[in-house]
Amino acid sequence: MLKKRNVMTIGTLAKTAGVGVETVRYYQRRGLMSEPEKPYGGIRHYDEQALARLHFIRASQWLGFSLDEIGELLTLQDGAHCDEARELGEQKLTSVRRKISRLQQIERALNELVQKCSSGHGDVYCPLMASLNDGVEDATTDKHKVR
């Protein structure tokens, strides 16, 4: 027998997890959470499993997983699919590392431009603007799509 402790409405659930009511409903529509049966003509209630699910989703999002990916992770939860989960984690790790190094490139370029602007110059001439006009790409010649 399951004890039903800490029964909550959607509003309490949402507040407890630190998300909006609409967000919970959105996750339900996305299939990331189930909608509990509603008692005849009444109000649905949520338990700690639902709360745990929300925590799982937010933790995964924090790590950079998209909602689609989170859906995938969730299918791995019921079973001993640790290898698959690790695989997903490794892929995400790779993509995070790529993002970091791209941002570090940007950081170097931007820092250089700002430095050049700070050290006095002709006043009718702005090194930052000049670089933007010529196309920046200082650090690495790296053809790519911006998106």
The neighbour count for residue 25, using CB atoms within 10 Å, is 14
Residue 90 CA, chain-centre distance (Å), reads 16
User: Does 12 contact DNA by CB under 7 A?
Assistant: yes
Residue from 6, 75, 77, 140 binding a second copy (CB under 8 A): 77
Beta bridge partners of 25: none
Residue from 6, 22, 114, 130 binding DNA (CB under 7 A): 22
Residue from 6, 9, 34, 61 binding a second copy (CB under 8 A): 61
Which of 42-67 are b and which e, b meaning 16 or more Cβ less than 10 Å from the residue's Cβ? eeebbbeebbebbebbeebeeeebee
Which of 107, 111, 108, 70 shows the shortest CA–CA distance to 92?
Answer: 70
Residue from 6, 9, 75, 101 binding DNA (CB under 7 A): 9
Q: Binders of DNA among 65-124, rule CB under 7 A?
A: 66-68
Q: Binders of DNA among 33-62, rule CB under 7 A?
A: 35, 38, 41-44, 61
Q: Of these partners, DNA, a second copy, none, which one is at the site of residue 37 (CB under 5 to 8 Å by kind)?
A: none
Query: In the complex with a second copy, which residue's Cβ is closer, 35 or 107?
Result: 107
